[in-house]
Structure 1
Amino acid sequence: MTTPDETPPAAAGRNAAIDLLRGLSILLVVVHHVALRIPLRDGALQTFLPRSVLGALSYNGYEAVFLFFVVSGFLIAGNALERWGSLAAIDLRVFYARRAARILPCLVLLMLVLSALHVAGVPYFTIERDGQSLGRAVLAVLGLHLNWYEGVTGYLPGNWDVLWSLSIEEVFYLGFPLLCLATRRETTLLALLALLMLSLPIARAALVGNEIWQEKAYLPGMAAIASGVVSAILVRRWRGVPRMLRSILCVLGCVGIAANLLFGSMLWPVLGNGLMLVLTLGAAVLLFALHGEHAAAPRGTGWLASMGRLSYEIYLTHMFVVFAAVALYRHFEGNPWFGFLWYAPVVLLCWLLGAALAHAWSIPCDRALRRRWLADMQHAPMPSAPAAPVISR
């Protein structure tokens, strides 16, 4: 999943490399959800591409969500450091208001649309599993425990199911600023986050017996977010890293990500659950190396960077396009040999729907809510309290 961050809206403030990483992640998510229904392995591509490559293209949606987690932690922690100068100086009300303004408009609109589709009995959008109900699903989404709800009751329809990652991320961000204020010292905060970061394979290994919960439990996802936060803090500490070292770290980060996405099936017998840690650490190292690089996206990759900028909107809405395409494919009895031809139109339509939602709804709502809430906070001072000290290093 992709979840929302706080990347500066001005083009000059964007990091094209990070947008490309997010674009790759959302592309993998979309392709994965199409491939589950129109498999690439059954088509003409198998005549000149190895099945291992087709598998890597088709079945890395879950890993892509963990890439999003790392990027989210990096961007939100980095922006907090830029805004307040210290994580110990976070203004809770402003932090939570900014998160709510970015998340709630699209999420509430999606809940209304999905609820209407369920009541209308639309295929692919109707909650039918025993022990599940519309009201309970809405409560799970808004209560940030849809991942747990699915772990107990089973998978929800696809457009509901993708919201599991939002539950993990926003629970993390409810507690993150409180942890920053409680620890005060940056070294203490780094130690706690590093422990959480390194716990990923242990947490996944401990969650045996329930496949859904093993994939969607809070702790592994939070460990991935912590990797991004640690990277952002280290960027703040170690400014002026030599270009040669940046290049080496960039290569190492790419190797870590590629090892998981391209060779995961071969490495799993050796690394097991540690393979996910290779992915998240690789992403964190890559983000560290890419920080401050604001060059334009390489020629021919602008579309992918654009998908990265719209990743939240695309993530929330892409299943509408996927299910529509699958319905048409089945209605016309599509030939699996030419199934790969459906992928490019689906990706394009996902981008168009995400862009329309962003420009017509989420961006205007985000700006309006921030103006309203942040202005109210400026005119309603907090009760007097000792000033938070700058985090010592």
Structure 2
Amino acid sequence: MNSISTTNDDGGPVPAPSPAHGAHLPGLDLLRALAVVWTMLFHSFLVGGLGEDWAWAQRYGWMGVDLFFVLSGFLIGSQVLKPLAAGGRFSFREFYVRRAFRILPAFWAVLAVYLLWPGFREAPGMEPWWKFAGFFVNLSIDYAENATFSHAWSLCVEEHFYLVFPLLAWLLAKRSSVAGFAALCAAIVLGGIALRSAIWLHFDALQPARAWFVEDIYYPTWNRLDGLLAGVALAVWKTYRPGAWARLAVHANLMSVIGLATMAMAFWLFRDRTGLLGNSIGWPVLSLGLALLVFAGAQAGSWIGRRALPGARWLAMVSFSLYLVHKPIFGLVYAHAGDALEGRGYAAFAVYGIASLLAAAVLHYLVERPGLRLRERILARPRSVSLPSAIESTTS
């Protein structure tokens, strides 16, 4: 069969911790499960699309990664900010050990398969391994020639967030103010609008030359801060204004309706996905709508969070592994059964999806879970030497 299409770009989830208080929130599981399925629907372009039945969901499926960014900003933000707000101890070591063992084992395993088995690749070309290992492939990629494993771009954005946010939060916690935080948020949002607009206006005339939209707007970290910022803003609100959070929680269903209406506005702004309108103001509008849905999902009494949907928790649990493997699995199934599945819509997506779920389960249970058990053993070991107090803890 011919090489599968690589004319679109990618998005996907990364794992995030549970909220700092440890309570299980089925609404967030549901959102994570919906986001990964939505992303998979988008990536069905790799196998020629799944027909008109799925076109309505497939078209905007790339927004699934933005939902994951909002979720990550909220969950990571809550984890980091809770001890800082209480004037207690925040361990940088524990934070980075937890993140490393949550992400790196599965990521390195998949990267190794990509490198050792060329038939696993969903596209002919691939960037050098060190760009993936260093988590900066999103800043330096020839997308037209090297689209294999390009969905690692979102992991790069997350890794940059993990590196910078805890230190920034630790520094700002010493001089916390509503006005200062609001000014920082406004600067990031307005700066993002201005930067993306300038890039779009500069490169639009060069559109035939290269995949500039992917390489210069969609992938770089500095253009994708809106979703993470929206999630962090939710975490700041929940941590520093718990009373206001609780008062609005009783209106969670109304917030979900407003969130869906805001999402509809984002759909309209992104009706031309590579156009100036969407890539200037579309990102903050989309992130606001998703943040309202995440807020609703974080409330146990909301429509979204009231009860656990069967299978959603498991799908959310394996979503990172599923994201890592679904594109190459799509490619493998397409190479061996694409002709038989062509034009079969629901049946085709079921085959591609089941194959991806099986591969994700293998990766999760054989690599992710052992990595998490090793992490807990490492963190449980007594430490003979403490880090300097300026790094290991914070004061009120």
TM-score, structure 2 length as denominator?
A: 0.81
Q: What's 1:156 paired with?
A: 146
Shift of 1:286: 2.2
Which residue does the alignment assign to 2:23?
A: 13
Offset of residue 196 of structure 1: 1.9
Match of 1:341 in 2: 347
- Structure 1 pair 350/27, CA: closer, same or farther in 2 (3 Å)? same
- Name the structure 1 match of 2:163: 174
What does 1:275-294 align with in structure 2 at a 5 Å threshold?
A: 275-293=282-300
Listed as ranges, the matches of 1:112-191 within 5 Å are 112-118=112-118, 122=119, 124=121, 128=125, 137-150=128-141, 152=142, 154=144, 156-158=146-148, 160-183=149-172, 184-187=174-177, 188-189=180-181, 191=183
Partner residue in 1 for 2:109: 109
Letter in 2 for 1:17: G
In 2: Cα distance, 1:178 partner to 1:354 partner: 33
Pair 32,139 (structure 1): closer, same or farther in 2 beyond 3 Å:
same
* Partners of 1:87 and 1:250 in 2: CA distance: 33
Quote the residue 1:90 is aligned against: 90
Please give the alpha-carbon distance, in whole angstroms, between the structure 2 residues aligned to 1:262 and 1:310.
32
Q: Work out the CA distance in 2 between the residues paired with 1:190 and 1:358.
A: 39
Q: Deviations over 1:333-376 (max 9, x none)?
A: 33643244210222223223223322222122122124214635
Instruction: Select the structure that is richer in helix.
Output: 1
The change in CA–CA distance for 1:320 and 1:337 in structure 2 (over 3 A counts) is closer
Identify which of 324, 327, 333 aligns with 2:335. 327
Does the CA contact (< 8 Å) of 1:146 and 1:167 recur in 2? Answer: yes
Q: Percent identity?
A: 24
Give 2:237's aligned residue: 234
Separation in structure 2 between the aligned mates of residue 348 and residue 283 of structure 1, nearest angstrom? 28
Q: Give distance in 1, aligned partners of 2:82 and 2:55.
A: 40
1:206 is the counterpart of 2:198: yes
Q: 1:87 to 1:155 in 2, by over 3 A?
A: farther
Contact 2:84 2:90 in 1 (8 A): yes
Mark the CA change 1:176 to 1:315 in structure 2 (over 3 Å): closer, same or farther.
Answer: same
Deviation at 1:280, TM superposition (A): 0.6
Q: CA deviation at 1:17?
A: 1.1
Return the letter of the residue paired with 2:333.
A
Structure-1 separation of matches of 2:120 and 2:363: 23
In the alignment, structure 2 segments of 5+ residues that lack a partner are 1-11, 204-211
8 Å CA contact 2:138, 2:153 repeated in 1: yes
Residue pairs, 1:364-375, within 5 angstroms:
364-373=370-379, 375=381
For 1:48, the equivalent position in structure 2 comes to none
1:301, CA displacement in angstroms?
3.8
SS in 1 for 2:29: helix
Deviation of 1:381 after TM superposition, in Å, equals: 1.1
Cα offset, 1:245, TM superposition: 2.8
For residue 302 of structure 1, give the secondary structure of its aligned residue in structure 2: coil
Q: What is the alpha-carbon distance in structure 1 between the residues aligned to residue 157 and residue 386 of structure 2?
A: 31
- Compute the displacement of 1:268 (Å): 9.1
Match of 2:310 in 1: 302
Instruction: Give a deviation string over 1:163-206, Cα, whole Å, max 9, x none.
Output: 01111111121011111122223333454244324544333223
Map Cα deviations across residues 306-325 of structure 1 (whole Å, 9 max, x no partner).
32222111111112321122
1:265 and 2:275 aligned: no
Q: Aligned pair in 2 of structure 1 residues 329, 232: CA closer, same or farther (>3 Å)?
A: same
More off after superposition, 379-388 vs 72-81: 379-388
- Map Cα deviations across residues 132-182 of structure 1 (whole Å, 9 max, x no partner): 65xxx21111211111221x5645344x11101111111121011111122
- Cα 1:169–1:294 shift into 2, 3 Å: farther
SS of 2:388's equivalent in the other structure is coil
C-alpha distance in 1 between matches for 2:87 and 2:295? 18
Task: Verify the 8 A CA contact 1:148 1:216 in the aligned structure 2.
Answer: yes
Alignment length, in residue pairs?
A: 365
RMSD: 3.2
TM-score of the aligned structures, taking structure 1 as reference length: 0.81
Amino acid in the other structure paired with 2:197: A
Change (3 A) 1:144 1:106: same
How far the C-alpha of 1:66 sits from its partner, in A, is 1.2
**Structure 1 position 64, deviation (Å):** 1.2
Are the equivalent residues in 2 in contact too, given 1:321–1:350 (CA < 8 A)?
yes
2: CA distance, partners of 1:61 / 1:88: 41
Aligned mate of 2:385, from 377, 380, 384: 380
* Stretch deviating more after TM superposition (252-261 or 314-323): 252-261
